[in-house]
A = this chain, B = another copy of it.
Amino acid sequence: MANLGYFNNDIKEYKITEMRPRRPLKNFLWNEQFILILDHFGFGESFRYITPEERRFVVNDGDAGRVIYIKDRESGEFYDANRNYLNKPFEKYECNVGIGYQQIVSEYKGVEVKFTLTVPTEGFAELWKIEVKNNTDKLKKIDLVPYCRPAVNVTSHLAYGRADYNTDLDGLYFLHDAYNIIHNYVSVFMKATLTPDSYDISDINFKGVYNSPSDPVALYNDELSNKGSAFDPNYCGAMQFKLDLAANEEKTVYIALGMATDLEDAKKSCDIYLKPGFFEESIAKVKSDADKMDGLYLLNSPDEYINTMVNIWLKRQISLGKTWGRVYNKGFRDIMQDTAGLSAFDGKFAREKIMVCLATQRPNGNPMRSFAPIDRDPYYDGAVWTPEAVLAYLNETGDLTVLDEDVPYFECDEHGTVFEHMYRGLRFLLDNRGEHNMVLWGGGDWNDSINNAGNQLKGESAWLSIATVKAVKEFCRICEIMGGKDDLIAKLLEERAVLKEAILKHAFEGDQFIYGINDWGEKVGSHESYQGKTYLNAQTWAVLAEMLDEEGLNKIMQTVEDKLKCDFGYVQCAPAYSESDLHIGRMAYFIPGGYENGSVYNHGVAFKIAADCLLGKADTAYESLMMMRYDNPKNANSGVEPYVITNMYFGPQEKYRPGFSFYAWFTGAAVWVYRDITEFILGVKGEYTGLQINPCLPSCWDNVFVSRVYRNARYNITYKRTGSYKLMVDGKEIDGNIAPIFPEGTEHTVVCEF
């Protein structure tokens, strides 16, 4: 394992100590409308979400957005404290990734700089705190020059742009008052708690025409140019603060960098952001909200990393998904799955999300693939995700009223209840069947990238058919909870049986399920295929949908172990497509080992871990989880941030960088891995009638403790390995595996022998 740093759980930080890891390590800071995406240097873009199609950036240069230059006024030597372009021999470097902040600390020649970033809980700005400390016993005359690349040119027409130091604001003010602009956030401000000694507005003046960020021309002078700019392709915000630091003295400057509608708005915003204490209070509020969420499920297992992820970091990753979806994209399928996991943390939020998502379901029952921005591609799987999400919500909250909520259908006058939406969704799946009586593939399913197998509405997806079998069961469970729906249940179970039969007849090959049959009648993911012979999800979902008896399921999962396992997980399909195939679609043009085409797609691995648990294979499940970890010794330098789950590792068929993770954070895997650990391995899951405790703990785990809030009561659960199942609640043995619902605010002791 590359030694990148370490967790400090006491303060919920990950401390990065390696300044130059394999790839920049990312962090996110956000509120409901504004987000800052940054790497361990503090570089990265920040923007406000305005409409699904419109973002307003404050910084849009991912490479060199924020630099904290330091110059020794006596020697003339300069460098930058956060990026170290010039590779100076720093005495210290660390990047503290915290909850709601990030702090880059460095020291060079006795000057310590702490650069902390946060996003206020409301508003459209990023806030900086810069502490400069003289750790020597002599006076240091230091220029502190914070620099940013604000996104001023919100239209492509440079002639709208002008910027200068604004004395009224006492800060830098960048205006792009464009004709016919579709939002009114036409200005950017950069203001500090100190009045700067000089400033720059244009990169031409600061960096020079031919110099680089490591070597800005302005730093060769005593002061910055103090020149405004207009019609500039490259604005910058740079402020010089001449600091005289006595021995061991520290000085602090705060900076607000944000967007505004006009000068008055900018002034008002800065008044708030730069009020003494605001910065620290803002972080404290984010941390306290996180603490509340974290407290809802606390784990103490023998595996410190798993504890850390469950208790802190997976929740952080899930929180990002909760507010921002995949940041650039809000998809029906993604949000519904997130919602299934989020019900345990925030029932009100999950309820809202269910309704928001269902409002993008077309009247024929098929939801939009993505609704922000709108993706009208004819994916057919949307409806399959709804029952699970709604059932999770009902189980977790007991709130049946959601089912009667009236929700419109997409882009039409029709509307109906949540229940009707769900049912109409199921009908879309059950009524759109192909020649083999399986569900039509359409433009694709979970596997977005098989997007040309079923467009002619002949191809059938075996995976989608299996997922429908599962969804029908979940929907029937909802009917059961509602009561009085026996006829509907009976009818659906019959339809389910027919569908199941069709799948077994046409999609089962004894040791595996195929993925589907395309428009041309060709089997996809079959032993007959010359590439893409085995697909992970078809097998794991067959387990989730109970498609076979236990022996049959064990057999197909053995195929998974035999064909899909590699050193860092399980590939989506194997062998990956190495020849492009128009009868598959996009996926078969991807490089072998990339995305769905044979990468270790962790969303799929998370399904696999759940399937393992359902079959009681605790150690296999745990081992699969270990392979995904950043500290997997067989994938020692994968690039992934230790504190998040990555979307994928390039598969073993990728020639150049197998095992590499090129980004993390945005992935449906986060919620699913959280559920793997909490619901499937630890087995603690809300049911409608109580809290189910059904563990599947790896053999190496003893002394496991979980504290879990369910229906606002707390269950403190200890596990004992005895070889036979027994559930004790507050000292009394319980029949079955479900601990009862308790009054809000109460706390209970649960002992689970297994």
A650-B231, A656-B230, A662-B231 known; A590 and B20 CB under 8 Å?
no
Given known A-B contacts A85-B212, A231-B650, A656-B230, A590 and B662 have beta carbons under 8 A apart: no
A179/B585 in contact, CB under 8 A: yes
Closest beta carbon of chain B to A444's beta carbon, Å: 12
Q: Which residues of B contact A159 (CB under 8 A)?
A: 589-591, 594-595, 597
A286 nearest CB across to chain B (Å): 30
**A161 adjacent to chain B (CB < 8 Å):** yes
Is the C-beta of A228 less than 8 angstroms from some C-beta in chain B? yes
Contacts of A210 in B (CB 8 A): 20
Are B656 and A228 interface neighbours, CB within 8 A? yes
Complex Cα spacing A334 to B372, Å: 40
Interface flags for A188-214 (1: CB within 8 Å of B; 0: not) read 000000000000001000000110101
A14-51: CB near B (< 8 Å → 1, else 0) gives 00000010111000000000000000000000000000
User: How close is A735's CB to chain B, nearest CB, in angstroms?
Assistant: 52
Known contacts A20-B209, A212-B212; A229/B656 CB under 8 A: yes
Q: Which of B212, B227, B594 lies in contact with A231, CB distance below 8 A?
A: B594
* Shortest distance from the beta carbon of A226 to any chain B beta carbon, whole Å: 12
A654 CB–B CB distance under 8 Å: yes
| B contact residues around A209 at 8 Å (CB) | 20, 22-24
Which one, B157, B202, B588, B591, contacts A161 given CB within 8 A? B591
In Å, the complex CA distance between A229 and B24 comes to 19
Q: Taking the full assembly, how many copies of this chain does it contain? A: 2
With A159-B595, A209-B22: A580-B177 Cβ-Cβ less than 8 Å: yes
B655-A228 in contact (CB<8A): yes
**What 0/1 pattern do residues 473 to 503 of A give for CB contact below 8 A with B?**
0000000000000000000000000000000
Report whether A230 and B594 are in contact in the complex, using a CB–CB cutoff of 8 Å.
yes
Q: Which residues of B contact A654 (CB under 8 A)?
A: 230-231
Q: Mask for A209-250, Cβ within 8 A of B = 1, else 0?
A: 110101000000000000111110000000000000000000
User: Number of contact residues on A: which range applies?
Assistant: 35 or more
**Min CB gap A564→B, angstroms:** 19
Shortest beta-carbon distance from A555 to chain B in Å: 32
**A161 — which chain B residues lie within 8 A by C-beta?**
591
> A580 — nearest CB in chain B belongs to which residue?
B177
User: Is A433 engaged at the interface, CB distance under 8 Å to the other chain?
Assistant: no
Q: Is A563 an interface residue (CB 8 A)?
A: no
Residues of B within 8 A of A657 (CB): 230-231
A626 at the A/B interface (Cβ < 8 Å)? no
Q: Kindly identify which residue among B85, B230, B595 contacts A591, using a CB–CB cutoff of 8 Å.
A: B230
- State the CA gap A589–B160 with chains docked (Å): 6
- Interface check A133, CB cutoff 8 A: no
Q: Which of A202, A228, A655 has the most chain B CB within a 10 Å cutoff?
A: A655
Query: 8 Å CB contacts to B: which residues of A95-117?
Result: none
A599 CB to closest chain B CB (Å) equals: 9
Q: Is A452 in contact with B179, judged by CB distance below 8 angstroms?
A: yes
The reply to whether the CB of A162 lies closer than 8 angstroms to some CB of chain B is yes
Interface string of A568-582 (1 = CB under 8 A from B): 000000000000101
Let me know if A617 is at the binding interface, CB within 8 A. Answer: no
A748 located at the interface, meaning its Cβ lies under 8 Å from any Cβ of chain B in the complex: no
Residues of B within 8 A of A230 (CB): 591, 594, 654-657
A402 at the interface (CB under 8 A from B): no
* Residue A586 is within 8 A (CB to CB) of chain B in the complex: yes
A178 located at the interface, meaning its Cβ lies under 8 Å from any Cβ of chain B in the complex: yes
* Known A85-B212, A209-B20, A585-B179; contact A590-B656, beta-carbon cutoff 8 A: no
Q: Are B229 and A162 in contact (CB under 8 A)?
A: no
Closest to A20 in B: B210
User: How far apart are A378's CB and chain B's nearest CB, in angstroms?
Assistant: 14
Which one, B23, B157, B179, B229, contacts A580 given CB within 8 A? Answer: B179
Nearest chain B residue, comparing its CB with the CB of A654:
B230
Complex interface residues of chain A between 577 and 613 (CB less than 8 A to chain B): 580, 582, 585-586, 588-591, 594-595, 597
Q: Which residues of B contact A229 (CB under 8 A)?
A: 656
A228 to B655 alpha-carbon distance, docked (Å): 8
> What residues of B have a CB within 8 angstroms of the CB of A451 in the complex?
179
CA distance A229 to B594 in the complex (A): 12
Q: How far is the CA of A41 from the CA of B588 in the complex (A)?
A: 41
CB nearest to A586 among chain B residues: B179
Q: Mark A150-164, 1 if CB is under 8 A from B, else 0.
A: 000000010111100
Q: Which residues of the other chain, B, contact A160 by a CB distance below 8 angstroms?
A: 589-591
Q: Which residues of B contact A655 (CB under 8 A)?
A: 228, 230
Name the B residues within 8 Å of A179 (CB-CB): 451-452, 580, 582, 585-586, 588-589
A451–B179 Cα gap in the complex (Å)? 10
A214 neighbours in B (Cβ, 8 Å): 212
Give Cα A228–Cα B160 distance, bound, in whole angstroms.
44
B585–A231 touching, CB < 8 Å: no
Chain B residue at smallest Cβ distance from A585: B179
Q: How far is the CA of A179 from the CA of B453 in the complex (A)?
A: 13
B residues in contact with A650, CB < 8 Å: 231
Which residues of A approach B to under 8 Å, CB–CB?
Answer: 20, 22-24, 85, 157, 159-162, 177-180, 202, 209-210, 212, 214, 227-231, 451-452, 580, 582, 585-586, 588-591, 594-595, 597, 650, 654-657, 662
* Interchain residue pairs with CB less than 8 A apart (18): A20-B210, A22-B209, A85-B212, A157-B590, A159-B589, A159-B597, A160-B591, A177-B580, A177-B589, A179-B580, A179-B589, A202-B656, A212-B214, A229-B656, A230-B594, A230-B655, A231-B594, A231-B654
Q: Which 3 A-B pairs have the closest CB atoms?
A: A159-B590, A159-B594, A179-B586
- Taking A159-B591, A179-B589, A212-B214 as known contacts, 17 extra A-B pairs with beta carbons closer than 8 A to each other, sorted by chain A number, are A20-B210, A85-B212, A157-B590, A159-B597, A160-B589, A160-B591, A162-B591, A177-B580, A179-B452, A179-B580, A179-B582, A212-B212, A228-B655, A229-B656, A230-B591, A230-B654, A230-B657
